[in-house]
Amino acid sequence: MEPSSATPPARPPAAGQPKSAALNWIIIGLVVIGGLVYLAYSRKAAAPNTANGAVNGNSAAILEAANVTGRAAPTWTLRDVNGKPVSLSQFAGHPVVMDFWATWCGPCQIELPWWQQFQKQYASRGLVIVGVSEDLNLNDVRKYLAKTPIDYQIVWDGGSNTLQNSYGTPFGLPTTLFIDRQGKITERVTGLEGKPELDKALHAIL
């Protein structure tokens, strides 16, 4: 009995098949080249001017959701839980991690102790970790921090996701951006990752 299979049996070579195979490859090549040309054009057309992008709660250079890596990180000014203004620009020259999180986000809470550990581990190499809270209510953040102190910088996105959206971050927490010393985003990670993977991404900016 022949074994059953979802794959049809290979056909015997037909006369003239080499020519048709060559034609197929030419068509595939043309499609690939066309696709690359289209991609290059569309990326150029959609690229925002992020060199002087400023985020101050309501205005921002909006980065494309699917393509933030390699872009200059738009600067921003937000307030910490005590109301003190904090700007990305004050960390110029440092490797920076921006971790978007919320008190209601279970996966985020797994990562918070990791960031604390990384902050200590790489402090001598200038690492700055900023937790950007996406909570709707600042008091929720304050209460959380009173129970679970975090020793790196925490800022509040004003309950509006404005900063998160300006960084092209899709709806989903945690989302982490890795920014090198030149202010360029090297990687964005959405969803709970393993600690070794985050450490690897960190090493790329240290």
Which residues of this chain interact with another protein, rule CB under 8 A? Answer: 102-110, 134, 136, 144, 161, 171-174, 190-192
Q: Which is nearer to another protein, 29 or 191 (CB)?
A: 191
Give the CA count within 13 Å in the CB-facing half-sphere of 185. 26
**Cα–Cα distance measured from residue 127 to residue 120, given in angstroms and rounded to the nearest whole number:** 9
Least distance in angstroms from the C-beta of 26 to another protein: 41
- Please tell me whether residue 176 adopts helix, strand or coil conformation: strand
Q: Which is nearer to another protein, 105 or 202 (CB)?
A: 105
Least distance in angstroms from the C-beta of 18 to another protein: 47
Give the CA count within 13 Å in the CB-facing half-sphere of 76. 27
Q: Which is nearer to another protein, 72 or 105 (CB)?
A: 105
Least distance in angstroms from the C-beta of 81 to another protein: 16
Q: Which is nearer to another protein, 128 or 154 (CB)?
A: 154
Least distance in angstroms from the C-beta of 146 to another protein: 13
